[in-house]
Structure 1
């Protein structure tokens, strides 16, 4: 898992940011198909719509990142957000089965 965290300026409308992410997902689906995109392009929105995290651990996820950053830069400007590689969440450990 290679997550990238995009943090947007408060001046960027959260609903428009969400629309931009949806557009990037649709574009990724055009490249990789709907099923593969659903399986391999993990993403989440947080902090009231100001933070977007996209997993770039697969080819589909890398393309989603490229599409999203391109659309966001074009729509909101290059100085409207910062992007950083986020620390991956620790892997969940399976619970031992009860006897």
Structure 2
């Protein structure tokens, strides 16, 4: 299944574990609004430390909210120039649903 997603690519100056922690913080914020069960069902993302990327599914309201929170937190934490973000087409698989 092909979906709309956003791909974040971080500069080498950004510690990738901090990126993953920021994503977890955004997930907590998303859970506060939508609830744990809905986030588990509707949020999908994938991180790749080697490529320094994070791809978040934008095909649901939950995913869109997660993207907005993550983007805002990343700008505040790392700076506007520390990463690039763009809309992409991705293949959704069971492996990326809810970060599993």
Q: TM-score range by the shorter chain?
A: 0.7 to 0.9
TM-score with structure 1 length normalisation? 0.86
Runs of 5+ unmatched residues, structure 1? 92-99
- Considering Cα pairs closer than 8 Å and 6+ residues apart, tell me whether 1 or 2 has the greater RCO: 2
Deviation of 1:3 after TM superposition, in Å, equals: 0.8
Match of 1:28 in 2: 30
Runs of 4+ in 1 over 3 A off after TM superposition: none
CA contact (8 A) 1:3 1:56 kept: yes
Query: Against the structure 1 CA distance between its residues 49 and 34, is the aligned structure 2 distance closer, same or farther, given a 3 Å change threshold?
Result: farther
RMSD of aligned alpha carbons: 1.5
1:87 counterpart = 2:81: no
How far apart, CA to CA, are the structure 2 residues paired with 1:90 and 1:22? Answer: 20
Deviation of 1:88 after TM superposition, in Å, equals: 2.2
TM-score with structure 2 length normalisation? 0.85
Which deviations, in whole Å up to 9, do the C-alpha atoms of 1:54-96 show, x marking residues without a partner? 00100000000000000000000000000111122278xxxxx
How far apart, CA to CA, are the structure 2 residues paired with 1:32 and 1:21? Answer: 16
CA contact (8 A) 1:5 1:53 kept: yes
Bigger share in strand: 2
Question: How many residues are paired up?
Answer: 91
